[in-house]
Amino acid sequence: MPENPSCIIIIPCLNEERHIGALLAKLRPAARRLSARIIVADGGSSDATREIAAKAAAEDANVVLIDNPKRIQSAAINLAVERFGSGVDYMIRIDAHGGYPDDFCDRLLDEARETGADSVVVSMLTKGAGVVQQAVAAAQNSKLGTGGSKHRHSSSGEWVDHGHHALMRVSVFRRLGGYDESFSHNEDAEFDHRLREAGYRIWMSGRTRMTYYPRNSLSGLYRQYLGYGRGRAKNVLKHRVVPKIRQMVPLMVVPAALLAVLSPWHWVFAVPFVQWAAVCLGYGLFLGLRSGAPKRALAGVSAMVMHFAWSLGFWLQLLDAGTRGRAA
């Protein structure tokens, strides 16, 4: 392992004018310290994202703006690694919709060097500003919203099967063929499956984490989790893996909703759906009372949107796959 390993910092983005300027200002000192290049891979933003990134690139030779014609994050990372990864030890993936400590990149490289991990992932804390965003953040930080996923909670440092992608050994990433670009969501979990199958190791950082700023509308949250559900189903179909218990529970939400349609014939058909709704809304009320912030009681509604959209996306993807299989 080199004493000072080289790295590139990659930011996939699309319409992130509210975040990209501050994010680049945060990362540019780290890039100078580490002699690293920052690659902003823009997926065709229609707001001021490109202009802000281009201005930073004109001011700082360490910042490069490239086009990502395929728009999705998996393609952005693959493209940046293909163009700028030669002779580089590590790539660091940055979420444009997130916040990071000043020493984020330094800590990741330290842990990669000390542990010998092929991938270093991080836990994430979700924060919001407005009423809806705060409610979504409360839901995503709770076990109700995430099912106890490890990367949604702080870690003291441990070997894991999956986490929020942060650092990756470039040689390993290339050896495994990079991200599967047929995945618009869940490409990280799909890659981690292949990573583990090939015998490589994933370390969850105990020294740093990132902050995620969630969608600020329930419609945006719905679309996001619909994509997550589809991505999880694609992963299940591709690798023939059985969903974890925490994933199987929300899978039953759409079947429960369909069953509730029969409630005019007998009330018992509505029981599973009503029980789920009561648990979500009750948990949201509990969060609001415990935190002393009544607005967080809406976390129950956010959780319901997340569960339903994830479940619907999963079942739609299975249905699409079954239809294509019969057509073939």
* Tokens standing for residue 310: 């994830």
Residues 139-152 pLDDT 10s = 888 878 666 565 55
Q: Please tell me whether residues 157 and 198 are part of one structural domain.
A: yes
Q: Tell me the three state secondary structure of residue 103.
A: coil
Cβ neighbors of 191 (< 8 A, separation 6 or more) are 165, 176, 178, 179, 180
Q: Please tell me whether residues 164 and 282 are part of one structural domain.
A: no
The reported pLDDT for the residue numbered 232 is 92
Average pLDDT over residues 44-60: 96
Residue at 141 is within a domain: no
Average pLDDT over residues 178-206: 95
Q: Please tell me whether residues 28 and 121 are part of one structural domain.
A: yes
Q: How confident is the model at residue 1 (pLDDT cuts 50, 70, 90)?
A: very low
Q: Hey, how many other C-beta atoms are within 10 angstroms of the C-beta on 82?
A: 11
Q: Please tell me whether residues 182 and 284 are part of one structural domain.
A: no
For residue 130, pLDDT over 70 is answered with yes
Q: Please tell me whether residues 171 and 265 are part of one structural domain.
A: no
Q: Please tell me whether residues 86 and 14 are part of one structural domain.
A: yes
Residue at 123 is within a domain: yes
The reported pLDDT for the residue numbered 156 is 78
Tell me the residue range of the domain where 301 lies: 220-327
Average pLDDT over residues 154-158: 80
Residues 256-269 pLDDT 10s = 999 999 999 999 99
For residue 60, pLDDT over 90 is answered with yes
Q: Please tell me whether residues 205 and 281 are part of one structural domain.
A: no
Residues 220-256 pLDDT 10s = 999 999 999 999 999 999 998 887 777 788 899 999 9
Q: Please tell me whether residues 199 and 257 are part of one structural domain.
A: no
- The per-residue b/e assignment along 179-208, b for 16 or more CB within 10 angstroms, e otherwise, is bbbebbbbbbbbbbbebbeeebebbbbebb
Q: Please tell me whether residues 121 and 263 are part of one structural domain.
A: no
Residue at 296 is within a domain: yes
Query: CATH code at 33?
Result: 3.90.550.10
Cβ neighbors of 82 (< 8 A, separation 6 or more) are 178
Instruction: Among 192, 214, 236, identify where a domain stops.
Output: 214
Residue at 322 is within a domain: yes
Residue at 43 is within a domain: yes
Instruction: Among 214, 245, 262, identify where a domain stops.
Output: 214
Residues listed for the chain: 328
Residue at 140 is within a domain: no
Q: Please tell me whether residues 82 and 161 are part of one structural domain.
A: yes
The pTM score is: 0.89
Residue at 142 is within a domain: no
Q: How confident is the model at residue 327 (pLDDT cuts 50, 70, 90)?
A: low
Average pLDDT, the chain: 91
Residue at 101 is within a domain: yes
Q: Please tell me whether residues 285 and 175 are part of one structural domain.
A: no
Q: Calculate the CA 163 to chain-centre distance.
A: 9
Picking from 52, 46, 42, 63, the residue whose alpha carbon sits closest to that of residue 19 is 52
Tally of domains within the chain:
2
Average pLDDT over residues 180-192: 93
The reported pLDDT for the residue numbered 245 is 76
**Percentage of the residues of the chain whose pLDDT score is greater than 70:** 95
Cβ neighbors of 61 (< 8 A, separation 6 or more) are none
